[in-house]
Amino acid sequence: MEIKIGEEYKSKELHNYFGGQRQGGISTPRNHPNIFIFANKRGKDYGYVDKWDEDDVYFRYTGEGQNGDMKFQSGNKAIRDHSADGKQVFLFEETKKSFARFVAEIICVDYMYMQTPDSTGKNRRGIQFIFEEINADSKNNNQETNRPHTHNKNPNTTERKGLVTSRVGKDIIDKNY
């Protein structure tokens, strides 16, 4: 099955062909080198923040786990380690119940911890992944963009501390986030 950017797919058909978990936002097919992440607007009601940043450069995706602190296991571990494991990450956005549009192939460039409620409303430590689009022109109907591409060059310890600090500080100021 070939998947194309901008095309809408029935979630069941994707899972029937590729395999992987049918529930939740992260699907890790066992027999394919892919990870599918599914973003939907209803996630916001449960403490998940999945969206492109204001500059449309980075996609922020909240890890999996409904109760208690999120941990690097299952889908969260698969996302964190996808480059080292030789896996591609494909972003889908829900369009309507049981349907999702393939948005882009993305690469995890960083992650950070954040405070978010769990399904019971208790505050907990969540994981937010920061992705960059591999193919910059895919979201703009094949028109050139000026998005930077780091191809998973991880920042050094000092750079990472500065990035996370500035992102956390920005989130406090930006109430619309």
Tens-digit pLDDT profile for residues 19-50: 888 888 899 998 999 999 999 876 666 667 78
| CA distance linking residue 64 with residue 24, whole number of Å | 7
CATH code of the domain containing 160 = 2.30.280.10
- What would you report as the CA-atom Rg of the chain, rounded to the nearest whole angstrom? 16
Residue 62 CA to residue 102 CA, distance in Å, equals 18
Separation between Cα atoms, residue 14 and residue 145, nearest integer Å: 29
Asked if 26 and 36 count as a contact pair (C-beta separation under 8 A), the reply is: yes
Asked whether residue 1 is assigned to any structural domain, the reply reads: no
Asked if the model's pLDDT at residue 143 lies above 50, the reply is: no
Residue 37 pLDDT: 94
Which residues share a beta bridge with 127? 113
Residue 145, pLDDT score: 37
Above 80 in pLDDT, residue 124?
yes
> Is pLDDT above 50 for 147?
no
3-state secondary structure of 30: coil
The pLDDT of residue 63 is 93
Report if residue 22 sits inside a domain: yes
| DSSP alpha helix (H) spans, 23-156 | 74-80
- Look at residue 140 and tell me if it is in a domain: yes
Domain count across the chain: 1
Rounded CA-CA distance 116/130 in Å is: 16
In a domain, 149, yes or no: yes
Residue 3 located in a structural domain: no
Average pLDDT, stretch 163-175? 46
Q: Determine the Cα–Cα distance for residues 85 and 82; give it in Å rounded to an integer.
A: 5
Alpha-carbon separation of residue 105 from 40, 59, 92, 124 (angstroms): 17, 11, 9, 29
Q: Please name which of 72, 75, 63, 80 lies closest in space to residue 21, comparing C-alpha atoms.
A: 75
The domain containing residue 68 runs over which residues?
A: 8-173
Residue 76 lies in a domain: yes
Whether residue 75 is contained in a domain is answered as yes
For residue 102, list its beta bridge partners.
Answer: 92
**Domain membership flag for residue 2:** no
